[in-house]
Amino acid sequence: MTEDEGGIRPPSSRLTGADSLRAVATVAVVVIHTSAWGPTSTYTNTALLARFSVPAFMVLTGLLLAYRYTGRPLGTDFARARLARTLVPWLVWIPVFLVLDLWPMQMLPQDGGQVAQWVAEGGGHLWYLLLIPQFYVLFARWPQRHTVAIAAGALLLQTGLGLWRLYGPLPAGPVQTLVLQYGYLLFPFWIGYFAVGVALGRNWRMLRRSGRAAVASAGAAATLVAGWLLVTITFAEAPYVTFLNGTGAFLDPVLPLLVFSIAALVMSATPPLMQRSSLLRNVTRTVSDNSLGIYIIHPIVLFYLGTYTQQWLYASIGTSVAWFLIDVAGSVLGSLAATRLITATPLAPIVGVSRRGLFPLHRAVRSHR
């Protein structure tokens, strides 16, 4: 499980810390969308801090691809399986969310131009399913050596592009539109996260178990500092700061500090906890294994929850936070249940997995008993 760079790792090997980080990031995505239902004065910073989620997925993508496939040939089966995991769900769910956004949710104007732009921008939260295939293609040609140096260079490139996107100069026309409006869909703006993940995956032996406590402590302290910096540094003077909202907020140049801090904290601190608790381990793995389905489906569950609970989100702070947590938990559990039902049928590929039985959903309960 910890071969040096260039070693071959068993396909069945699994990183407990990666499961934990994926589960935490999945919940954080739901937190972002739940925040939109409450008062901005209360939940703006909550949503901002939860933005570590999608970049964490990108780190995990690089880490797990490198951990599993380094030293193994990448043929057509790799490309077919990986691309199907994202492009098939995108093609299936785009019309579903288009109909929902036009009518029940009424989040999209019934205008042809607006609809075309919505699709071009990835289809709401489905945009991530268009970003990740770009890295599957890149990984097939990613260098086998000097991964740490490549990661440092890629992170510098990503940070530079993020600052350029805020400060310019950006020539008017297609370049400006591409960078400002569609930057979050382009791999260069995310390449640092992926490259760091690949470096970790190909050098996993460097992360010794004996150093977990120190890494967890440093990660906890760094998370507090990085969170404060992310909230404090607003780039208010930047000419294009208005594009640092919504999906554009994922391109904040300060965000990598929080992403890597949380990744270090979660991946080092949670494995010992999961060794002690089979319930925690199985619940975490259940959320992790169904993360893509939860990511895709949760806005539907959240819409109906939010419709009925929004009034309480604007109540006193204690009541608001309680109902906020209920909405988050309900959205995760509801979308998890829907995902598990789908994966038990031939429709499983629409949530990016192969067909499997329903019983794994109850494994955590059985183990706990």
Q: Cβ–Cβ contacts within 10 Å for residue 293, how many?
A: 25
Residues 5-9 have a mean pLDDT of 38
Residue 4 has pLDDT above 70, yes or no: no
Q: 185 vs 71, which has greater pLDDT?
A: 185
pLDDT class of 78 with cuts at 50, 70, 90:
confident
pLDDT tens for 268-283 read 999 999 999 999 999 9
Nearest C-alpha neighbor of 162 from the set 76, 51, 17 = 51
Chain center to CA of 19:
13
pLDDT at 49: 98
DSSP annotation of 7:
-
pLDDT at 209: 57
Nearest C-alpha neighbor of 156 from the set 183, 182, 122, 195 = 195
DSSP annotation of 241:
G
Quickly tell me which residue has 């190909």 as its tokens: 202
The two tokens of residue 174 are 């297609």
The two tokens of residue 11 are 């396909």
Q: Look up residue 162 and give its amino acid.
A: G
Nearest C-alpha neighbor of 248 from the set 168, 165, 305, 171 = 165
pLDDT tens for 280-300 read 999 999 999 999 999 999 999
Quickly tell me which residue has 């104007």 as its tokens: 109
Residue 169 has, within 13 A of its CA and on its CB side, a CA count of 2
Average pLDDT, the chain: 91
Query: What SS3 state is found at 143?
Result: coil
Residues 124-141 have a mean pLDDT of 95
pLDDT at 13: 61
Nearest C-alpha neighbor of 201 from the set 267, 297, 127, 112 = 267
39-48, 81-90, 308-317: lowest mean pLDDT where? 81-90
- How far lies 102's CA from each of 53, 112, 199, 310, 357, in Å? 27, 11, 43, 21, 34
The two tokens of residue 342 are 């789908």
Alpha-carbon Rg for the chain, nearest whole angstrom, is 20
Quickly tell me which residue has 């919940």 as its tokens: 27
pLDDT tens for 133-192 read 999 999 988 999 999 999 999 999 999 999 999 999 999 999 999 999 999 999 999 999
- Provide, rounded to the nearest whole percent, the portion of the chain with pLDDT above 70: 93
pLDDT tens for 12-66 read 467 999 999 999 999 999 999 999 999 999 999 999 999 999 999 999 999 999 9
Q: Using CA atoms, how far apart are residues 218 and 215, in angstroms rounded to an integer?
A: 5
pLDDT at 364: 41
pLDDT at 11: 44
User: Are 159 and 256 in contact, with CB atoms under 8 Å apart?
Assistant: yes
Residue 177 has, within 13 A of its CA and on its CB side, a CA count of 5
pLDDT at 1: 31
Alpha helices per DSSP H over the chain: 16-35, 40-49, 53-69, 76-102, 112-120, 128-139, 147-167, 174-182, 191-202, 212-232, 255-276, 278-289, 291-313, 317-343, 363-368
pLDDT class of 210 with cuts at 50, 70, 90:
low
Quickly tell me which residue has 């507090």 as its tokens: 224
Nearest C-alpha neighbor of 296 from the set 38, 21, 91 = 91
Return the C-alpha torsion angle 184, 189, 192, 198, nearest 10: 60
Q: Name residues whose C-beta falls within 8 Å of residue 232's C-beta, 6 or more positions apart in sequence.
A: none
Residue 329 has pLDDT above 60, yes or no: yes
Residue 71 has pLDDT above 90, yes or no: no
